[in-house]
Amino acid sequence: MRGQQGGRFLRAGVVHLEFLLAHLSDPHIGPLPRIPFRKLINKRLTGALNWHGARATIHSMDVLAEIIADLARHTPDHIALTGDLVNVGYEPEFPQAMAAVRSLGDAGSVSIVPGNHDAYIRESLPAMERVFRPYMLGDGAEGPCRFPYLRRRGGVALIGVNSGVPTLPFMATGRVGEAQRAALADLLDSTRQEGLFRVVMIHHPPLKTVTRFGRNLMDQRKMAELLGRHGAELVLHGHNHRHSLAEITGPAGPVPVLGVASASAVPGTPGHLAEYHLIAINPAARTARITRRGTPRGGGPVTTLAEFTLPRTAR
């Protein structure tokens, strides 16, 4: 880590403050611990079968270790991890996942929001919170996790939203809910007034265009409207295991919605590739330079897949 206030860089003879944020998601950390039969209720049974049938070969902890090692070499100021840390929300999965998360950094420099697999059944989110609570707290907050949370780092407001809710078997939907949306609107307004570069971290994409039936955010339309009304400089999400970039029209320009692929996807799996994003934020210019780092199709060492600057169109 380079320190919470970010580094400095020179562009066109002018010194700007730069804050380097790394974003990864959906590590689906395994292997799945042995689950006693009495714990295999409905949804978890289908999830466990899914793990042994497909997920175990789609995600690789060796790939995740390579992604984390490459990310560490770039010494980001902060890391955002947008959910699906585990597979079926079974309590012993969370301490196992913590071993990988600890290698990213401490709770002050890594911000986490839950995904649908972390909230698999009713007992899952409380189990996650027992292990990851310090990584999901706002600055100065005490007690249980409350979403959305706010962390201020080097001209950047990191706002963590929880879209993970327990669902029926075969469903991977999410919901933010009215209370969180109201608090999010207030946070977006107050942090804009502070002049911060607002980054919203959420597992499910807040746009229907980038997700499939049974996997979408139930209140995505309300979330998109909220972001359009209150604005944000960047929205980061996971869930689709695909890189994606979309845009919502905000009050003072576009709100880029950036999705990252899974950090543990096995290279060569159809449609899959492991990646993370390096996001060099210039809070004064309200721009972010994105570097996609990941495993090329067909395998090989982690490399730069693409580079671009957001927003695509001027604010």
Q: Would you tell me which residues interact with Fe ion (CB under 5 A)?
A: 26, 84, 115-116, 239
User: Within 10 A of 5 (CB to CB), how many other CB atoms are there?
Assistant: 12
Phi-psi region of 265 (alpha: psi -120 to 50; beta: other; left: phi over 0): beta
Residues 261-292: b if buried by 16+ CB within 10 A, e if exposed: bbbbbbbebeebbbbbbbbbbbbeebbbbbbb
* Structure-block tokens of residue 296: 């090329």
Using the minimum distance from each CB to Fe ion, give the nearer residue, 109 or 262: 262
Using the minimum distance from each CB to Fe ion, give the nearer residue, 22 or 202: 202
CB of 16 to Fe ion, least distance (A): 35
CB of 213 to Fe ion, least distance (A): 14
DSSP of 41-52, one letter per residue?
Answer: -HHHHHHHHHII
Using the minimum distance from each CB to Fe ion, give the nearer residue, 83 or 154: 83
When CB distances to Fe ion are compared, the closest residue is 84
Using the minimum distance from each CB to Fe ion, give the nearer residue, 80 or 157: 80
* Structure-block tokens of residue 235: 């929205």
CB of 174 to Fe ion, least distance (A): 8
CB of 84 to Fe ion, least distance (A): 3
Using the minimum distance from each CB to Fe ion, give the nearer residue, 120 or 197: 120
Q: What is the residue type of 8?
A: R
> Taking the alpha carbons of 96, 132, 76, 228 in that order, is the dihedral positive or negative?
positive
CB of 121 to Fe ion, least distance (A): 15
CB of 140 to Fe ion, least distance (A): 30
Using the minimum distance from each CB to Fe ion, give the nearer residue, 188 or 202: 202
* Structure-block tokens of residue 191: 């942090």
What does DSSP assign to residue 266? P
* Structure-block tokens of residue 1: 């880590």
Q: Are 69 and 301 in contact (CB under 8 A)?
A: no
Q: Are 154 and 5 in contact (CB under 8 A)?
A: yes
Using the minimum distance from each CB to Fe ion, give the nearer residue, 116 or 287: 116
* Structure-block tokens of residue 143: 């007690």
Q: Are 100 and 29 in contact (CB under 8 A)?
A: yes
CB of 52 to Fe ion, least distance (A): 17
